[in-house]
Structure 1
C-alpha cells in the first residue's frame, strides 16, 4: 500500500463521508495504478514478441484497454469530494470486467506460450479485479 496514497486520503477533508473503507480504498487505488502500469508494459513486451505478434494482437488490445480503465478508475476513486455513487459503481464494474478479460487472455499466453510477462500481467489484473470487487461489496449506499 502506497504511503503517499494513504497519507493523501487520511488528510482529505471529506474522508469521513467516503463511500468506502479507507484501507480498502487505498489498496484499490494502488492496485489500479499498478495494473495500469503492468498492462502498459505487457503490451509493449507483446509487441517485442515478433515471431508471435499476430497471435498477440487481441492481448495487446486488452492490455491497452485495461491500462486505460484501471488508470481512470484509480483517478476517479482518488476524488472523495461529492462522488456520484452510480458513477463509482459503474467505474468499478468496468474495471472488474477489463481486468477479467485481460487477465484471462494473459493467463492463456503465459500457460500456452510460456510468456512470463503475461503471467505477471495476469497476476496484477487478478489483484486489481479482487480489490475492485472488495470495494463494490463494501459500498456505503
Structure 2
C-alpha cells in the first residue's frame, strides 16, 4: 500500500512542488518505508516488552515509534520543509533509533522481537543517512 500511495503521489506532484531541485523521490520513498518498518517493529517490541519486565526497552521502543511516525509525516509535507528543522529532526530520529537498537540488542538473544526491532532501527538509520546526504547535495528550489 505504501508503494502505491507514494508512487501515485510522486506522479501527481510537479517538480515545482518538491522542496529542492535534485531531490531523489526514490530515496525519499526508501526512507519512508524504512521509517514505517521501524515504527511497526518498535510498536510490536514495546507491546511484547510490557509483560516481560523490560520497561526501559519498551519505553525506548515506544518513543522511537513516535519519532519515526512524526518524521514520516514531516517528509510527506514537502511544501513546508525547512532544511534546518528537517535536518535536526532527522538527526534526532537517528539518535533515537540508535538508542532503541542498542537497548534491543542487549535482549536480542533472549527475545526475537528485540533482535528484529534492532534490525529495523538500524535500517531506518541507514535510510535516513542516505536521505540526509541527498538533501545536502540538492539545492533549495528557487536557487
Normalising by the smaller structure, the TM-score range is 0.7 to 0.9
The answer (yes or no) to whether the contact 2:36–2:68 under 8 Å persists in 1 is: yes
Tell me the CA shift for residue 16 of structure 1. Answer: 7.3
Please report how far the alpha carbon of residue 78 of structure 1 lies from its aligned counterpart in structure 2 after TM superposition. Answer: 0.9
Which digits, 9 at most, give the CA deviation of each residue in 1:84-126, with x for residues without a partner?
A: 1111111111111011000111111103xx2000011011101
TM-score (norm 2): 0.86
| Higher RCO structure, 1 or 2 (CA under 8 Å, sep 6+) | 2
Aligned to 1:76: 74
Paired with 1:19 and 1:59, the residues of 2 have a C-alpha distance of 39
Match in the other structure for 1:31: 34
Distance 2:80 2:50 in 1: 41
Distance 1:48 1:32, change over 3 A: same
Matched, 1:3 2:13: no
The equivalent residue for 1:88 is: 86
Contact 2:19 2:79 in 1 (8 A): no
Q: Report the Cα distance in structure 2 between the residues aligned to 1:26 and 1:132, rounded to whole angstroms.
A: 11
Q: What's the secondary structure of 1:109's corresponding residue? A: coil
Q: What number of residue pairs does the alignment pair up?
A: 134
Give the unaligned 5+ runs of structure 2: none
Structure 1 unpaired stretches of 5+: none
RMSD, aligned CA: 1.7
